[in-house]
Amino acid sequence: MKLRSKTAVLLLLALSALLLVLLTLRTSRRKPPAPPVHLASALQRPQPQAPAFILSEGTFTLEGQSAQRRRPLHPRPRAGSRDAASLEKLARRPGEPRSSHAVLPPKLWIHLAVVACGSRLEETLVMLKSAVLFSHRKMQFHIFTEESLKSEFDKQLRQWPDSYTKKFEHRIYPITFSVGNSQEWMKLFKPCAAQRLFLPVILKDVDSLLYVDTDVLFLRPVDDIWKFLRQFNSTQLAAMAPEHEIPKIGWYSRFAQHPFYGSTGINSGVMLMNLTRIRTAQFKNSVIPTGLAWEDMLYPLYQKYKNVITWGDQDLLNIIFYFNPECLYVFPCQWNYRPDHCMYGSNCKGAELEGVSVLHGNRGVYHDDKQPTFKALYEAIRDFPFQDNLFQSIYYPLQLKFLETVHTLCGRIPQVFLKQIEKTMKRAYEKHVIIHIGSNQMY
């Protein structure tokens, strides 16, 4: 009996072992072998998705998906809106160099307008050159000029190198005034200057616009002043800088015989405008008790004040914003820096802290020897060969030229003129040289 019991136990154990082997073999067939530890941890990490890219139809898709699965893109933001930067990031693949003028749709371009008649051809071209040298976004130039200058503007701009002409497009318009007597408007102040008053009426398809006088130079990207559009509140529709910082030596506060904005008036040489708001607003005025549209207000105001205005269209703008102060955003003085800010002693604190952002050489200072600091900056940009190094051909020569201007009050503060342009050139150098070299070394 004992022998039989032992045999039965051994047989049972053998059958159990055989069953266990069979179960193990079936399980191993279902499961793949476990990966090494380092590979298993890598497989557990989330895999990056293919980057999105912009399509010409205004939709986007992911690489590897069919066109049928496209989803519509959110409506494009207006120029100057906060979403412009996010759209650029969406359009750029990771690792691509920043090249916003190549991807931003036309609605997000910067629009820059200028009015040039008489002998202002060269001055205007130098202004446009300064805008192209330092800016990043693609720009649309709106040039208003007389018939005799149209072909020369077009010819000169098309001769610039491709690396710069791809950053802008230009349109040339005739001088036109939609209301009133054209001859009166032409002679209001300087030839054609009153044209700026009619830009909201003429450029009906433009939402926002930066207008500048021909004697303006950008010492930093136009993109930076364009950003002020984001800071407008719900009632503001234009931005300008004060005519002066100190009322007791300002022109308007001492001599004006008509209403003017604030305590020192405003200067219209650099004017940022939301044209859509201007076209739809009703403006308070001194002509009738009710509001008037922009175009309907211009000629009646001129007729009422024409015998007391000295600075033409700028005086009319001062009158308009005197009655509508809530519509104006005021720039700091470094965004419209003129000889008045230094020829009586330095009185623009913003420029002392940050440097001049936009230089305005009024009083003809680019073409005489009264303010050699302004003239030196103008000639440096005018004579700069497009393909040369900015530091070698502009910044270092300027430092030497400024040593010759220390006998003037403006020349005693060279850092005010050099600070911002140095920052701008450093950013351009880092973008075009350091970043490109670093990306090449990766391969």
Residue 206, pLDDT score: 97
Q: How many CB atoms lie within 10 A of CB 71?
A: 11
Residue pair 189/102 in contact (Cβ under 8 Å)? The answer is no
Q: Which residues of 295-330 are buried (b: 16+ CB within 10 A; e: fewer)?
A: eebbbbbbeebeeebebbbbbbbbbbbbbbeebbbb
Percentage of the chain beyond pLDDT 70 is: 74
Is CATH 3.90.550.10 correct for 110-331?
A: yes
Q: How confident is the model at residue 284 (pLDDT cuts 50, 70, 90)?
A: very high
Q: How confident is the model at residue 82 (pLDDT cuts 50, 70, 90)?
A: very low
- Take residue 97 and report the two structure tokens written for it: 């160099």
Percentage of the chain beyond pLDDT 90 is: 63
Whether 123 has a pLDDT exceeding 60, the answer reads yes
Residue 122, pLDDT score: 97
Q: ∠144-292-296 over CA atoms, to 5°?
A: 40
Residue pair 236/327 in contact (Cβ under 8 Å)? The answer is yes
Q: Give the pLDDT mean for 414-439.
A: 76
Domain boundaries, the chain: 110-331, 339-440
Cα–Cα distance measured from residue 177 to residue 183, given in angstroms and rounded to the nearest whole number:
9
Cα–Cα distance measured from residue 148 to residue 259, given in angstroms and rounded to the nearest whole number:
37
Whether 273 has a pLDDT exceeding 90, the answer reads yes
Residue pair 140/101 in contact (Cβ under 8 Å)? The answer is no
Q: In which residue are the tokens 């607003």 written?
A: 281
Q: In which residue are the tokens 């002998």 written?
A: 119
Cα–Cα distance measured from residue 422 to residue 437, given in angstroms and rounded to the nearest whole number:
21
pLDDT tens-place string over residues 353-382: 999 999 999 989 999 999 999 999 999 999
**Closest residue by Cα to residue 243 from 272, 215, 275, 270:** 270
DSSP state of 76: P
